[in-house]
Chains A and B, each alone.
Chain A
Amino acid sequence: SQQGEEDPQALSIQEGENATMNCSYKTSINNLQWYRQNSGRGLVHLILIRSNEREKHSGRLRVTLDTSKKSSSLLITASRAADTASYFCATDFAYNNNDMRFGAGTRLTVKP
């Protein structure tokens, strides 16, 4: 069964705008990761945030984690058409940080 749930399911924005996606999960975790998937391709790791971290940045990506609410958000700033893809959060379980489960994803469309 899936551990995380992303919202919204789909998001459509104009190039240059910011995109925010959210992820909620159910059980205690060690790490939360965000992955990106272009149509018909495998998943690519974007960023990881550990359970003792609250915010992390990588280029145009900003991730926050609120363990009290069991939620995370991914912000993509100054979006580009090439950011069009599906974005998934993946969580492990606190008892086994090598057992990784995904949500259903957010489908992001960035219009040029």
Chain B
Amino acid sequence: GAGVSQSPRYKVAKRGQDVALRCDPISGHVSLFWYQQALGQGPEFLTYFQNEAQLDKSGLPSDRFFAERPEGSVSTLKIQRTQQEDSAVYLCASSLPPAPEAFFGQGTRLTVV
């Protein structure tokens, strides 16, 4: 596609529900990042993939968060047993090394009620 696509754009989940957020990166982009952005804050790093390998998951806040990119293209961020503090915008970005510039999707706004 022309850009990074994320779905859904908006998600309302009941507390305790599991959610899955999808990211379609730019075709051919090797690197893929997930970030969490609270209202009025900067993006907080969650995890990073190079192709299908998850090279850094140090930013995942708990074991309820899980990300995968099984075929090195589409990625899914899964949050189990959602809690209110998980409410945020989840941003996905991709890049093509060695160029460090990252291209972002529009994000998924998750609201846990």
Question: Which chain A residues have a beta carbon within 8 Å of chain B's beta carbons?
Answer: 2, 6, 30-31, 33, 35, 41-45, 48, 88, 90, 92, 96-105
Contact = CB atoms under 8 A, between A and B. Distances in A.
A100 B33 contact: yes
Contact of A88 (B42, B48, B55, B95): B42
A70 to B, nearest CB: 17
Contacts, number: 65
A92 B104 contact: no
Interface string B62-98: 0000000000000000000000000000010101011
Nearest to B100: A31
B106 interface: yes
Given A98-B31, A101-B45, A44 B104 contact: yes
Size category of the B interface is: 20 to 34
B100 A33 contact: yes
Nearest to B32: A98
A42 B100 contact: no
A42 B56 contact: no
Nearest to B91: A42
A42 B94 CA distance: 12
Given A48-B100, A48-B101, A92-B100, A102 B42 contact: yes
B104 A43 contact: yes
Nearest to A86: B42
B26 to A, nearest CB: 13
A90 B106 CA distance: 18
A105 B48 contact: no
A16 to B, nearest CB: 27
Contacts of B106: 41-42
B25 interface: no
Contact of A102 (B43, B56, B98, B105): B43
B44 A2 contact: yes
B13 interface: no
Contacts of B93: 43, 100
B34 to A, nearest CB: 12
A98 B42 contact: no
